[in-house]
Amino acid sequence: MAMKNFICGSLEKKAILVLLVTTICVLSGGMTYIGGNQGKVVYASALEELDGIHFWKGDRNYPVYASGNQFGSALDLSSAYVVSDDGEELIIAVSEVSINYAEDRIVDVGRMTFKEDRQQGIAHYCHEESGICKRVKKEGSNDWMNDVYYYLKTVLEKN
C-alpha cells in the first residue's frame, strides 16, 4: 500500500511538473531556457511536402526554402519572371515572403534575384533589400533553396 501511494504520488507530481513547464513555455512565447535546453513551442505549420519540396498549405505558388519554429521563408511564384536569358546567363526575379506560423499569414518582404551562369552551371541568389547573396547548391544536394530554385526554373520554362 505504501508503495502504491508513493508511485501514485510521484505520477501526480510529474504531471503537475509537466503542466507547469508547458505553461511557462507557452506564456513565454516558446523561448524559455529550461535546464540547459532551449524549450520551444512548436506551432502546427501548414507546410506540405510535395515531390520533395515543402509548400505553404500545399499551394505550389509558395515553395518554402527555409523554415524555423515560428517563421518560414518562401517565394511567391505568381510574381516570378525571367529578367534576361541570353544563353550564357539566366536572371530570374521573384517576390520573397515570410510566413508567420502562429498568425497563419504571409507577408511580402521584398524581391529576390537568381543569377545562373549557364556555362558553369553555377547559380546565386540575392536578397535585394539586404544585398546578401549566396550560392545555390548543385542539383541533388540536401538544401531546400536548391530544390526551390530548380522548381522555379521548371515552372517558368512551362509558361
What CA–CA distance (Å, rounded) separates 29 from 24?
Answer: 9
What is the per-residue pLDDT for 46? 79
What CA–CA distance (Å, rounded) separates 50 from 57?
Answer: 11
Residues of the chain with pLDDT under 70: 1-45, 138-142
What is the per-residue pLDDT for 51? 86
Quickly count: other Cβ atoms within 10 Å of residue 96's Cβ: 20
